[in-house]
Amino acid sequence: MQPIDEMHYFFNKTLPDTITDNLLDLTDFMSNYMWWVFLLLMLLFIYITYILSKKYSKLERTSYDLNTFMYDYATIDNIDVATTKLMDFRKWLRCDYIALYQLQGETYILISSNIDLDAKGSAAGASLHLSRQSLKTYTTLGNYNVTSYITQDQQLLFRSYSTQRLRLQSHQGIIEIILAHYSCLREDDENHTELQIAKTAKVLYDTINGTRFGDDGYMRYLLSMVKKVVHADRVTLLSNSDDIKVDLGSCDHDRPKTFFLRNTDNKVDVYTQTPLEAEALKTLGSFLDLTGIFISTLNEESAMAKNYIRFLEQANALLENEDPYRYLHSKKVRLVSMEIGKVLFLSIDELDAIDHASKLHDIGSIGDINDLLQESYDESDSYRLHPIIGSILLEPVANLYPIASIIKYHHERVDGKGYPYGIKGNEIPRLAQILALSEYFIELISDRSFKAAIEFKEAVRMTREGSGKMFDKIIVDAFLSIHEEIETRLTRLDKTKQ
């Protein structure tokens, strides 16, 4: 058979027969096993439907949870509530811990976290401060992946700690909205505190200084301090014509020591049972000279502020030098406050405010309350008045020395059990919280007429226990990180009085 005939036979006979036979075999197979094919197809369809429905349900639930969170978060107008709610955001991100930092200079400072910084052996932790340079290298901690997100304005750093790798950039829009609202609440809270101080300053001054202390309350305060420091029986303020303006106490003789207030038409008579020693005369004369300078420069703002601060700091030093139980108290409080401030990377202005506030935090308790009051007052509550008195004394220079709020609130507690107002949490200015911890610690390790000093380690333990109750957790952690250095410096300071 010729090749052409063979090809013709293949295409006309062999190939059609082969196709027909294969189709017949397939038809026979389908007729015998069709129910197995149908069953497999049904199982495949059910499996695909289950996977898709589960994925859709998960997406729908996640969307619903986020919508609920965002709605609730948007209605919050309190920074404390916002901080608590922010910690819940980790549930949506599916991470274990989160931490929020605020930029100060070149360093991010921790402002809130749900991480227990005190827990020993904890699998997670958050640094009190992070340099901007270290963020790229610091990506793991134990079994946790650490992911960082910096807001577009560079002011806030958001960090997540998760056993899985998270991509926070994929949630950029949501995180920016949440943190923008948080920043606004935080700023409003700080502005509200200062605004309230400004609005109530005159009311407080009129109420406490005017009504309770009388119209001459300021001069009564000065003379009360003089009377207490030199242990005088009587102190009077007179004009040059010998008209008595203020008269505190009584004395059985009329042989006072007279001091003239420089640059004024006033003089002060001090009555004591025994003549004042030369050193006391010199110190008191210097102080009253400074008082006269202050009074004469009230209309020169810059000179007034400078002299006023000097005057109050000298007044406080006078009292502490006379009291063996208060000696170096303000210097020690200042030392602790400044060290904490440095750990938290406070700005130069904030450190300056802490410096002056530490020296003057008890300025409101210098005078004798019985000499100041013009009406009956519960003696048990008199001590609780001194933060308010101190803040009022600093109001005249509040624009140049913004420390009145620090002094006013330095006995408040974050749990709301402090005084004089019982405010709590972020309602208390951060610098006032630093001062509160510092004074508390110094009081623990200092001898008093009614108690002996506590050992340094025990005082550290008690301060640690106050974390989250008496004091802000972050401030306590800052103190604990440098308490050994503080102990060394306090020991060195104590040696100066020996």
Q: Give 335-382 pLDDT, tens digit per residue.
A: 999 999 999 888 888 898 999 999 988 887 765 555 554 444 444 455
- At 238 the pLDDT is 86
Angstrom distance (rounded) from CA 363 to CA 79: 31
Angstrom distance (rounded) from CA 102 to CA 129: 9
* Residue 191 scores a pLDDT above 60: no
- At 34 the pLDDT is 59
* Residue 3 scores a pLDDT above 80: no
Angstrom distance (rounded) from CA 153 to CA 235: 59
Express each pLDDT in 202-240 by its tens digit. 444 444 444 444 445 567 767 777 787 778 889 888 887
> Rounded mean pLDDT of 392-411?
79
Question: Could you identify the residue written with the tokens 């209605």?
Answer: 75
Could you tell me which residue, 106 or 409, shows the higher pLDDT? 409
Least confident span in 198-202, 291-295, 329-333: 198-202
Ranked by mean pLDDT, the top range of 28-32, 197-201, 291-295, 403-407 is: 403-407
Express each pLDDT in 24-72 by its tens digit. 666 666 566 555 666 676 777 777 776 666 555 444 444 547 777 777 7
- At 437 the pLDDT is 96
> 166-169: which pairs have CB atoms within 8 A and are 24 or more residues apart?
166/93, 166/94, 166/95, 168/93
Least confident span in 21-30, 198-207, 310-319: 198-207
- At 300 the pLDDT is 44
Express each pLDDT in 425-460 by its tens digit. 888 889 999 999 999 999 999 887 778 889 999 999
Angstrom distance (rounded) from CA 125 to CA 244: 66
- At 59 the pLDDT is 46
* Residue 190 scores a pLDDT above 80: no
- At 482 the pLDDT is 92
Least confident span in 375-384, 387-396, 397-406: 375-384
Q: Which candidate, 432, 307, 444, 430, places its Cα nearest to that of 361?
A: 432
CB count in 10 Å sphere of residue 252 = 8
Could you tell me which residue, 461 or 261, shows the higher pLDDT? 461
Ranked by mean pLDDT, the top range of 172-176, 228-232, 311-315, 337-341 is: 337-341
Kindly write down the DSSP assignment for every residue of 260-314, as one continuous string.
Answer: E-TTSSEEEEEE-SSPPPHHHHHHHHHHHHHHHHHHHTTTSHHHHHHHHHHHHHH
Could you tell me which residue, 413 or 186, shows the higher pLDDT? 413
The domain limits of the chain are 79-190, 328-361+410-498
DSSP E strands, 11-119: 97-104, 107-113
- At 332 the pLDDT is 93
- At 487 the pLDDT is 92
Angstrom distance (rounded) from CA 131 to CA 157: 11
Residue 325: CA atoms inside 13 Å, Cβ hemisphere, count?
A: 9
Angle between helices 278-296 and 301-322 (to 10 degrees): 160
CB count in 10 Å sphere of residue 27 = 10
Output the average pLDDT for the chain. Answer: 75
- Topology of the domain comprising 328-361+410-498: Hypothetical protein af1432 (1.10.3210)
- At 442 the pLDDT is 93
Kindly write down the DSSP assignment for every residue of 445-491, as one continuous string.
Answer: TS-BTTBPPPPHHHHHHHHHHTBTTTB-HHHHHHHHTTHHHHHHHHH
**Do residues 393 and 205 touch, judged by C-beta distance below 8 A?**
no
Read off the tokens for 3: 């090749």
- At 118 the pLDDT is 52
**Do residues 114 and 90 touch, judged by C-beta distance below 8 A?**
yes
Could you tell me which residue, 99 or 22, shows the higher pLDDT? 99
> Rounded mean pLDDT of 257-283?
83
- Topology of the domain comprising 79-190: Beta-Lactamase (3.30.450)
**Do residues 419 and 386 touch, judged by C-beta distance below 8 A?**
no
Q: Burial level of 39, CB count in 10 A (0-12/13-18/19+)?
A: exposed
> Rounded mean pLDDT of 132-136?
71
Least confident span in 225-234, 261-270, 277-286, 366-375: 366-375
